[in-house]
Amino acid sequence: MFTVLTRQPCEQSGLKAFSRTPVIIALVALLLSVMVIVTVTVIQTHQKEVHLPGLKYGIVLDAGSSRTTVYVYQWPAEKENDTGVVSQTYKCNVKGPGISSYGNTPQDAPKAFEDCMQKVQEQIPAHLHKSTSVYLGATAGMRLLRLQNEAAANEVLASIRNFFQSQPFDFRGAQIISGQEEGIYGWITANYLMGNFLEKDLWHMWVHPNGAETTGALDLGGASTQISFAVGKTVELNTSDIVQVTLYGYMYALYTRSFQCYGRNEAEKRFLAILLQNSTTKTDVINPCYPRDYTTSFTEGHIFDSPCTKDLNPGSYDPNGNITFKGTGDPLLCRMKVASLVAFKACHEQEVSCFDGIYQPEVKGSFVAFAGFFYTASALNLSGSFSLNTFNSSTWNFCSQDWSQLPQLLPRFDEVYARSYCFSAHYVYHLLVSGYKFTQDTWPQIHFKKEVGNSSIAWSLGYMLNLTNQIPAEMPLIHLPMQPSAFLGILAFSTGVALLSLVSLVCLYVSSGDRQHSQHVLDHTVDSE
């Protein structure tokens, strides 16, 4: 007798169907819950909407020796490493001369500001007027007035303060900044605009550029000139020449020097005084830097009523007396005579850079030359970087023209500037080559620029950047896609489903293993019989 034990196909299929269904259900539930957890978490953490607290504004008045310029700056209310990311949004040139010219009539100084300040009010939202700070910084023109008549300088500033205290803005003061400060702020502006402090990465986040080199700054104003550039820690200098500057979390060792009376306007006054000294008459004094066929007159007071010409003062002179200068358009003689303006005093060591008895480290790297440097190069139809030979040939060509030809050479013709561009070109040459020791090889590293983008290269932007360190930052308001309670509820529910599904899978696996073991024992028993 024998018994045939076989499992029917229907029984096998029925058993498999019975065990597979709960497994599939558990797997689907587990996968769905995990997907929900991941999706909700990613959305909540990475797709959050950031509502910035808005913009802040600042106003800086650059009160130079020849004119005043009003700049409006703005920056996000949250800051980058304690320094605001500032941009220029508006610029207004105040009509009339610089505020130092109001020494005899200080009450008239604020009147020139009225038109520009009215326009500024229209540029800034009215509800932000009270929180917008206003700063006036006066430079070399007022520094000279203070040397000449401190009481008059104080009265000019007091009159300006009274005017701005009646404005709807938060007036923070009118002060005379030092030449060193002017140089530092000019260097900060140049490097900020050139992108040497911050750049945006692939995620549009502001970061410090890796390996970025800073650029030196050359500023030529009406009454002073400044040179500033970063130096290594090994440079040995008088501590007053080195300044530590911290911006965006990084520290820079900066050499900066300001030379009073070496601005373009004051240098020309000294030049005219020297020509007068060497002349036997006060009429038709020969000026080789003025164009041929050009004649003009100045009062003696225009030349000698300045601290910068006191060593050339004839002693007794008539402030209202006239001196006539006649141009000859001689570039070679002009260069020779302008050389006397860059004074040389002995330094202790012969092999070092020395300007006016002041030791400076060797100029290295790139430089940006702005203000008077740029306008002089622009008159020669030059901009950006170019060789020293190109500068000299352009200078010679310009200085060889007679007066009647200049309107065709200059896009914007103004007699006061046009007559002096030849002098300015030769003066820039001696200032950079004889004074700062730029050479045929290093000259092309100078970039003559007026602005970058829509922002002017001027000390005022660096001033604003520095001041933003004093202004508290506002935290951005973060709006999440869902409320935290809802997010936690979904996360907890999905996690519970995932855990329950995982436990079910484990139980099904264990149960399936037990059935397989029991069947294996049964099969073995039958076979044995």
Tokens encoding 86: 């500032």
The tokens describing 34, both together, are 């995990």
Whether 114 is catalytic: no
H/E element holding 451? strand 451-452
CB 240 within 8 A of CB 403: no
What stretches of 64-150 adopt beta strand conformation (E)?
68-76, 87-93, 133-138
Q: 3-state class of 346 per DSSP?
A: coil
Residue 56's H or E segment, with its range, is strand 55-63
CA distance 326 to 290: 7
Q: Tokens 């024992």, residue?
A: 521
Q: DSSP letters of 155-172?
A: HHHHHHHHHHHTSSSEEE
Per DSSP, what are the bridge partners of residue 51? 477
Q: Which of 182, 266, 268, 300 is catalytic?
A: 182
Which CB contacts under 8 angstroms, 24+ apart, belong to 2-6? 5/526
Taking the chain, what is the end-to-end CA distance rounded to the nearest angstrom?
12
Strand partners, 173: none
Phi and psi at 54, nearest 5°, equal 110, -165
How is 301-333 classified by DSSP, letter by letter? HHHHSSGGGGGG--SS--TT-EEEEEE---HHH
φ and ψ at residue 359, rounded to 5 degrees: -75, 135
- Active-site residue numbers? 182
